Structure 1
């Protein structure tokens, strides 16, 4: 596959309701209130015992309530011949804690390696952290690795992310990636403040390709046993890679969402997955994306009109009015207000309808965000032409 760059490809459609259309494009239209106690701090054990809210008809969330299930019932919710597409990215220990030469504590979240041992990172606190500043990192306790400390120097500020380019000083022939298990930690999202979760619980059981700073959380509900049962039911599996970065979790900060610029994220849609998708479609099966990252990867690879093998970066931003090219159904967690993820799911079933479903989930005490419960949007539940 050639390295390419997938660009945003939106085809807005007309809406019969001007007020709804305006809210679809307005940040305010994606607000909702969530009780603090519904923000999940720990994952359910076993993973597949989380709740599953099933959106299974076009009037779900409008005239009827969603169906309430357990995630392990997923094989019974899908059909033989369907294809689940999953994101096999792996979260690396991207959070580092260091100190300045003055002794002040610094927190660093690595985003991506730009050159050898030169990383784009978010730095907290970042104010006055200017070019030439140095950070010292110590190896974690009980580590006998060499070196026992690292130094990074700020090269410049990255205007697009507000982050810093950090040059890590390592002995010749060594890379920071090799040292992350010694110096870094798997980064949990900031709204998880009181968790007993182990690092492995913030990885999917099929995580394979290191490079993400956050987990593709819809996949956290799967167990090896559930994957086997899905296969026994004739529900096949394929994989893509999207290295979750700042583009996924960066908040939308402009009221007119059309002007929001997504940060690029690296994706790989291999030819084997494209072939599986085409074969599934030809035999009448449905394509169900496991997570918004998979939806974005597949649609990004089809940005020119037809799904093709793709390796490169995408800045695709999906919100209501988007014309879907590949994805039929979606498994997803419950997302933050005003987030691009909420907008992507709204593009599948309609913004107001999604907010109605969220209110029903809140009333039923569903757990929200990364360690929370899941929602299955079946193909028959999609709003015709993505209209509300």
Structure 2
């Protein structure tokens, strides 16, 4: 056998991947690979695919579209109908929770594509209505009904996915027609309600959905009032105050401060004065956890810097009450005058009205109550 033979080793014969492409291949036109798109799309709509797989598929579709000089929706348009139709015509609840998350996430991806891929059919409207029912589910009922924390976590992921889908749908031009105004109003109400949820992920997507709605359209006054009413009614009585309620109100003030009357600050001060008698307060309200009272008061103070600009009139009363509340903190507890939970939220208020606050404290330089803390 000659060692100088020019014939390549048998193992390399036919291995095209090892053959260098022509020098001018970079200038050759790129042809969309329908088979590749089909494989990606089947995996995208596979209800059993993991989140990692689905995200990778979405990235691959974006890359394929970029390489072919087209949009993702153009690649998928000839392929999606046979895969999508069976998913949206069957009730979501007939699937496992994980499969529901997969279907909702895939549909959200398709709905967000531009140019639009999907058509607003009655089946799709029915799907959005079912997603709304899931998004509106009472989390307290879920916690009681499903004791398993892992299952509750999966349900929260499903709610989050449904709210994300509805956020995407609200920005869809076809969905803005008068025919769907009632469903849109229900979705907006759900956004409001979800702001008081205890699950941060749900709160985040609901707040973003509400922000988009506010930016895209003028909120009907009747819808706004009906959506705010449950929160404002609970603010009427101290016993109804809770961290989710106050945090939800803070998020609303961030988005819709101009819609609130500054007299809300007066009502909040009324609540705060009850913390001057901490023992009486803790005995009269049993819904709070032990030691949670200072956190509730701090959450109330947190609202003041978010109130309309006229809230500057509460400067003196809020500062004075804050000092008194620190003095009323029970001894031997986590919080004290030296470790006050009220300083940071008060500082946010003072920072918003910095000029007034500086003048206020300079005028009281000789009063040790304001400085010996």
TM-score range relative to shorter protein: under 0.3
Give the TM-score, by structure 2 length. 0.27
RCO comparison, higher one (Cα < 8 Å, 6+): 1
Give the TM-score, by structure 1 length. 0.26
